Amino acid sequence: MKHEPITAVRFIGYAISTFPAHLRDGLGGGTYLGNASVERDLEMRVCILKNAIDTAKAQLPADEVGATVNNIFLVPEFFFHGAQGPYLYADGEEDPILRLQRILVRTFPAKDYSNWTFVLGTAITARVSDPKRLFESNSVQVRNETVKFLVSQERKARSALSEIVTNTLKSFIQDCQGIPDVAVRGRTPVFSHIPLVVLPNGIESNWMTTEKYFMSGEDFVLYSTSGHKDVITEQMVAYPHIDLSAGDVKLHSEDSRAIFGQKIDHDESSNFIRIGVEICLDHEDARLRSNLDIESNPEMGSCVHIHLVPSCGMAIRPGSVVADADGFVFNCDGQYPLDATNASVECGAIDGVPSIYINHNPSPIDAYNFHCAHTQFARVKVAAKGNNPNLNSAEFQELDSTDVLCVAVLEPQLEHGVLSDYFAGGPGAVHIYGVKQGFSLKSNLDEV
């Protein structure tokens, strides 16, 4: 059977807050939302996800020919997590991300989503054989009690002393992360019925994962404002080391690397686009840019055509962009707005990047209104050169925002609980870039 080739791409972001609930202050106190059952939590979050995807799908042209447009649906970092922070599982138990894969396959069949690519923020997991013993351990208790004490003293301190206590708190957490109690993995699941490709060997799959490298100071709560003792805190964790000495192109579908291909012609093995997924702080720290044009394998380290940034506290950084000329950069963030606007399509330079952007910036839910979101879209005019983010950065095109749409998402009906049991800032909105026809893709970008 001959398939129509993919000729265009559409970018859709789910602007929903993925920050913890019950925020008390700016020092990392909060509560993880979620169902105590990992299976139920995953199922309900996929139900929430499907509600947003189908909201976007209803806005697209009904007469769009076949599967010629690739709908890339991006969600923020930390979309999938549990009531303890990461989904915890013991030795011998199945990795929760494999359960998520099965749910996605069941929920998004090819007959209904043949031309969709889902890039699903991150799923946070940790292998812990005996959680009760972990949380009762001397190491965890000392870390958590020390942090709570420093937070309480920071509130009392004034002027220069406040800065000293804050710096002490940060240094203590960083030192703790050098000897972590728990290794946490933050992986981006990518699922599509348009074949995804491991570039060096040409192996095709409908499933990829990539993994976060750099730990942010707010990836996990410092303490639970609900008083829960059995939650994973910032001072307990570290991400596993990822060896990027030979570049960031994936060698198999579930390794930690970030660059892979996607076929744009089912009937031609040589027609691909290159995609790079860079999670939040990895983008700030120029993970992909640092491997651009690496000497050990310059072809595998070259620019991508689509650069995706799922995040919870990040915008596009010009020195970090590795999309090629006419390539795309798309960011979906679950923490903050880019300015004071709300739900309107805006054009302007954000941190030196000419962009189209939309904020989800509702009325403050608490004194520290972190329950916002945004999407940001840019297109490259001249690609970056070299692997130094301080030199020869990408140059960007001026964009037309006439084919961009913001649509509020209605709260879904859930079998287990309500939306506020899972997300603190409401059902959010979908932002669609290229509503009517998408953006033209290059072809023959790679030959395997």
Predicted pLDDT of residue 363: 66
The yes-or-no verdict on residue 364 having pLDDT over 80 is no
The yes-or-no verdict on residue 375 having pLDDT over 90 is yes
Q: Quick one: pLDDT band at residue 2, thresholds 50, 70, 90? A: low
The yes-or-no verdict on residue 3 having pLDDT over 80 is no
Helix or strand (DSSP H, E) at 150: helix 138-156
Residue 409 located in a structural domain: yes
Give 318-336 pLDDT, tens digit per residue.
999 999 999 999 999 999 9
- CA atoms lying within 13 Å on the CB side of residue 37: 6
The yes-or-no verdict on residue 339 having pLDDT over 80 is yes
Residue 157 located in a structural domain: no
Average pLDDT rounded to a whole number, residues 273-283:
97
Give 282-330 pLDDT, tens digit per residue.
999 999 999 887 755 555 557 999 999 999 999 999 999 999 999 999 9
Distance in angstroms (rounded) separating the CA atoms of residues 209 and 187 = 6
Residue 144 located in a structural domain: no
Q: 């309107």: which residue's tokens?
A: 344
Return the bridge partners of 405, or none. Answer: 432
Min mean pLDDT across 139-153, 185-199, 267-281, 288-302 is at 288-302
Number of domains in the chain: 1
CA angle 230, 236, 239 (to 5 degrees): 120
Residue 55 located in a structural domain: yes
Parallel, antiparallel, or unpaired for β 116-120 and 304-311?
unpaired
Residue 332 located in a structural domain: yes
Min mean pLDDT across 3-7, 41-45, 182-186, 264-268 is at 264-268
The yes-or-no verdict on residue 238 having pLDDT over 90 is yes
Predicted pLDDT of residue 96: 98
Residue 104 is part of which domain span?
8-137+181-440
Mean model confidence pLDDT for the chain:
92
Residue 116 located in a structural domain: yes
Predicted pLDDT of residue 267: 61
The yes-or-no verdict on residue 99 having pLDDT over 60 is yes
Q: End-to-end distance of the chain based on CA atoms, in angstroms?
A: 23
Predicted pLDDT of residue 227: 85
Distance in angstroms (rounded) separating the CA atoms of residues 308 and 48 = 22
Distance in angstroms (rounded) separating the CA atoms of residues 180 and 123 = 20
Q: Quick one: pLDDT band at residue 41, thresholds 50, 70, 90? A: very high
SS (H, E, C) 33-85: CCCCCHHHHHHHHHHHHHHHHHHHHCCCCCCCCCCCEEEEEEECCCCECECCE
- Whose CA is closest to 20, among 74, 75, 81? 81
Min mean pLDDT across 73-82, 206-215, 264-273, 291-300 is at 291-300
- What percent of the chain is predicted at pLDDT more than 70? 92
Residue 142 located in a structural domain: no
Q: What is the DSSP letter of 241?
A: P
The yes-or-no verdict on residue 181 having pLDDT over 50 is yes
Residue 159 located in a structural domain: no
